[in-house]
């Protein structure tokens, strides 16, 4: 074969390759769109349907006119809300408020709640029994922070909501997960529903719960349970599927009935992985407490929300760190309990049963608290605070660095963000859907292309295409900043083992910080607007980018690195041609997780004045527009599901390519 023949064949293979054909098709379609009728460029009114109005009317009819057993559905839900209110009130009485007698100015506390010494000591004992000295010290430090900073009572209100929400979410999640595990058809349905639920913004859950359950702690409880349910369902199914078949077969050979096999064999064997779902449910519940405070939940979330409204960054950070302290205590303790149960560890001979130890401690600590009032409730005069320091620091930064910050803000807004926003806003909707479909087809075929096109058309039909493009613009910039900042940090940490443990602790802390806390410094430094929203979303989405960057580089086969070193590759060449291709599947999953985190934060960022789908949901919540809130939330879910499908397909394709290269 001559050189000219080889060149001709190479050109022909490039020209007739699938990417080339797709590019030619796109160019032809773009010419048709730009030269064709206006409805191909701008979404026409005849293509929009009053979906939000129909959904709102249907839900209002269901709540107010539909009956169950001759009683209106809303009466059933309000009755259930009254029951939840009683349970919540009872828990708050025990942990935070106590009992009061009298009325008006003559109200006095007749029975105090459990003291901080009693609850704190009990959590410390539990930590020591299940996790050893380190966990006991961790719990004691977290409790001391809550007590000394005057956050104890509000923390107990939050703990009451968390305990009830997590308990209900775990029970419902286990039930749905077990049902899905036993039936493939049910699993297909629950997987799809839970995937949508995970991508629907937090505020969207508040709109229908307010309609059905009214304003108050019970509505917050229901919204929190719904928000925390998906990870428990997913992890229950995965945990039960991961039980080795030998264990299940052994149970059947011993004569176990299906119920005995489940409760005495499969669930205990899956307990370690079930703990992952429990931990995620706890974390999502704690992330929801601030949002739930907007509809009467109270607690530490109300502290953060109040601080945001007053722009008091110091108090907001302290309350946010209080939620982090509570999250760490619950997270580490639940992990330790689950791990001990999974390994079947029993108490050592002569060791006092934990329940006896706790009862004894509660009696002793209660007596001590009655004698020494400071052990019951920490005196306000003894409380410490760093709020003045943080507020002074922000004031100094605004005074001394105002010109620099304002210059950065104007440059980012006028030179980068506004042009990109205008580009997406003016892009023909048909071309955008065409690009999405073509990318999906290239990565996974016709099925994914039709799936993504259908989700995009839902946004078009509902009339939220403009706000959706604003959401895409904010998410794209935020995720790009998070990835290009987080991946290099993760790469650097991957080769430094001594920094991994501190880095993981910091990343865990970042992921447990409540979302509103990220808004405080951004707003204080850059005022309200898109710049503050992007900074807050980027900071919140940074943790998974760093974590997956670290994990991806750590999983590169050592043999490939040694081969690169033998071939004389420089560190830069090794990174570009060896490390990045090997880590690409993991990095793409990291991008996917970063996008999901960014979406969950984007709705919170609507509080600072963005003009996207998050703002539409927030407006609907403030105006009690049920249909608009749900439909706008579903549009957010559509965008997130499109991104999720495309990135998972890209990760799968990269993984297949990597395995072929490794095999060759």
Which of the pair, 297 or 553, is modelled with greater confidence? 553
Cβ distance 490 to 542 under 8 Å? no
**DSSP letters along 203-248, please?**
HHHHHHHHHHH-SSHHHHHHHHHHHHHHHHHHHHHHHHHTS-HHHH
- Which fold would CATH assign to domain 465-663? MetI-like fold (1.10.3720)
Using one digit for the tens of pLDDT, what is the confidence trace for 430-482? 888 888 888 888 888 889 989 999 999 999 999 899 999 998 999 999 999 99
Cα–Cα distance for residue pair 158/152, rounded to 1 Å: 10
Using one digit for the tens of pLDDT, what is the confidence trace for 44-98? 888 888 888 888 888 888 877 787 777 778 888 888 888 888 888 888 888 887 7
| Three-state DSSP class for residue 112 | coil
* Helix pair angle (465-494, 446-462), 10° resolution: 130
| Residue limits of CATH 1.10.3720.10 in the chain | 111-393, 465-663
Cα–Cα distance for residue pair 5/10, rounded to 1 Å: 9
For the cut 60, the answer to whether the pLDDT of residue 12 exceeds it is no
For the cut 50, the answer to whether the pLDDT of residue 295 exceeds it is yes
Residue 15, pLDDT score: 47
Q: Which of 326, 333, 405 is nearest to 145 (CA)?
A: 326
- Bridge-partner residues for 370, per DSSP? none
Cα–Cα distance for residue pair 242/270, rounded to 1 Å: 7
Residue 10, pLDDT score: 45
End-to-end CA distance of the chain: 26
**Confidence category of residue 188, pLDDT binned at 50, 70, 90:** confident
Cβ distance 285 to 162 under 8 Å? yes
Using one digit for the tens of pLDDT, what is the confidence trace for 574-622? 777 777 788 877 788 888 888 888 887 877 777 777 888 888 887 887 7
Residue 345, pLDDT score: 61
Neighbours of 176 (CB within 10 A): 22
Cβ distance 206 to 622 under 8 Å? no
What the block records as the tokens of 60 is 């209002």
Cα–Cα distance for residue pair 427/64, rounded to 1 Å: 42
SS (H, E, C) 504-542: HHHHHHHHHCCHHHHHHHHHHHHCCCHHHHHHHHHHHHH
- Which fold would CATH assign to domain 111-393? MetI-like fold (1.10.3720)
**Confidence category of residue 349, pLDDT binned at 50, 70, 90:** low
For the cut 80, the answer to whether the pLDDT of residue 503 exceeds it is yes
What the block records as the tokens of 540 is 């919140």
Which of the pair, 13 or 49, is modelled with greater confidence? 49
Cα–Cα distance for residue pair 330/123, rounded to 1 Å: 9
Using one digit for the tens of pLDDT, what is the confidence trace for 447-457? 998 999 999 99
Residue where the block lists tokens 């660095």? 401
Cβ distance 384 to 148 under 8 Å? yes
**Confidence category of residue 18, pLDDT binned at 50, 70, 90:** low
Cα–Cα distance for residue pair 527/421, rounded to 1 Å: 19
Neighbours of 177 (CB within 10 A): 25
What is the average pLDDT value for the chain, to the nearest integer?
81
| Three-state DSSP class for residue 611 | coil
What the block records as the tokens of 607 is 């509080």
**What percent of the chain lies above the pLDDT cut of 70?**
89
**DSSP letters along 292-314, please?**
HGGGT--SHHHHHHHHHHHT-HH
- 242, burial (CB in 10 Å: exposed 0-12, middle 13-18, buried 19+): exposed
* Segment 477-499 mean pLDDT: 87
């Amino acid at each position: 074969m001559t050189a000219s023949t080889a060149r001709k064949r190479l050109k022909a293979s490039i020209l007739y390759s699938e990417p080339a054909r797709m590019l030619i098709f796109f160019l032809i379609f773009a010419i048709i769109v730009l030269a064709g009728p206006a409805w191909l460029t701008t979404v026409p009114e005849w293509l929009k349907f009053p979906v939000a109005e129909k959904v709102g009317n249907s839900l209002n009819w269901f709540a107010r006119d539909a009956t169950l057993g001759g009683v209106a559905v809303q009466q059933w839900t309000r009755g259930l809300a009254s029951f939840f209110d009683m349970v919540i009130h009872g828990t708050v009485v025990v942990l935070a408020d106590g009992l009061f007698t009298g009325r008006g100015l003559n109200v006095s506390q007749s029975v105090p709640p459990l003291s901080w010494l009693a609850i704190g000591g009990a959590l410390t004992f539990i930590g020591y029994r299940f996790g050893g000295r380190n966990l006991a010290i961790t719990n004691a430090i977290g409790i001391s922070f809550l007590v000394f900073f005057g956050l104890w009572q509000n923390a107990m209100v939050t703990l009451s909501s968390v305990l009830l929400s997590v308990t209900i979410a775990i029970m419902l999640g286990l039930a749905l997960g077990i049902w899905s595990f036993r039936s493939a058809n049910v699993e297909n349905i629950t997987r799809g529903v839970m995937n949508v639920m995970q991508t629907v913004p937090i505020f969207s859950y508040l709109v229908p719960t307010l309609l059905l359950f009214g304003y108050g702690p019970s509505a917050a409880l229901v919204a929190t349970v719904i928000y925390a349910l998906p990870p428990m369902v997913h992890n229950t199914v995965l945990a039960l599927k991961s039980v080795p078949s030998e264990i299940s077969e052994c149970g059947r050979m011993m004569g176990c009935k299906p119920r005995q096999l489940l409760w005495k064999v499969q669930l205990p064997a899956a307990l370690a992985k079930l703990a992952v779902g429990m931990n995620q449910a706890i974390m999502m519940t704690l992330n929801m407490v601030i949002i739930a405070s907007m509809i009467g939940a109270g607690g530490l979330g109300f502290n953060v929300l109040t601080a945001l409204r007053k722009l008091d960054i110091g108090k907001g950070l302290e309350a946010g760190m209080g939620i982090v302290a509570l999250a760490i205590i619950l997270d580490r303790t639940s992990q330790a309990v689950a791990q001990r149960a999974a390994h079947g560890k029993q108490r050592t001979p002569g060791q006092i049963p934990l329940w006896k130890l706790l009862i004894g401690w509660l009696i002793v600590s209660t007596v001590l608290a009655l004698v020494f009032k400071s052990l019951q409730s920490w005196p306000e005069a003894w409380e410490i605070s760093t709020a003045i320091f943080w507020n002074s620091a922000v004031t100094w930064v605004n005074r001394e660095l105002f010109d620099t910050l304002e210059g950065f803000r104007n440059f980012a807004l006028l030179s980068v963000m506004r042009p990109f926003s205008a580009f997406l806003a003016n892009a023909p909707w048909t071309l955008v859907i065409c690009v999405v479909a073509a990318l999906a087809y290239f990565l996974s075929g016709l099925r994914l292309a039709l799936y993504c096109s259908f989700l995009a058309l839902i946004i078009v039909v509902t009339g939220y295409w403009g706000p959706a493009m604003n959401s895409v613009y904010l998410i794209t910039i935020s995720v790009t900043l998070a990835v290009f900042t987080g991946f290099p940090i993760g790469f650097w940490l991957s080769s430094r083992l001594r920094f991994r443990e501190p880095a993981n602790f910091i990343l865990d802390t970042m992921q447990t910080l409540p979302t509103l806390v990220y808004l405080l410094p951004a707003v204080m430094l850059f005022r309200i607007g898109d710049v503050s929203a992007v900074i807050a979303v980027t900071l919140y989405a940074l943790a998974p980018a760093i974590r997956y960057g670290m994990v991806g580089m750590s999983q590169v086969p050592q043999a490939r690195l040694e081969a690169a070193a033998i071939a004389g590759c420089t560190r830069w060449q090794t990174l570009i041609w060896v490390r990045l291709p090997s880590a690409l599947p993991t990095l793409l999953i990291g991008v996917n997780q970063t996008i999901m985190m960014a979406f969950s934060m984007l709705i919170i960022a609507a509080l600072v004045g963005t003009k996207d789908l998050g703002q539409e949901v927030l407006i609907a919540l403030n105006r009690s527009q049920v249909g608009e809130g749900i439909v706008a939330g579903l549009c957010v879910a559509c965008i997130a599901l499109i991104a999720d499908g495309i990135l998972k397909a890209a990760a799968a394709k990269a993984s297949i390519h990597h395995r072929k290269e490794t095999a060759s």
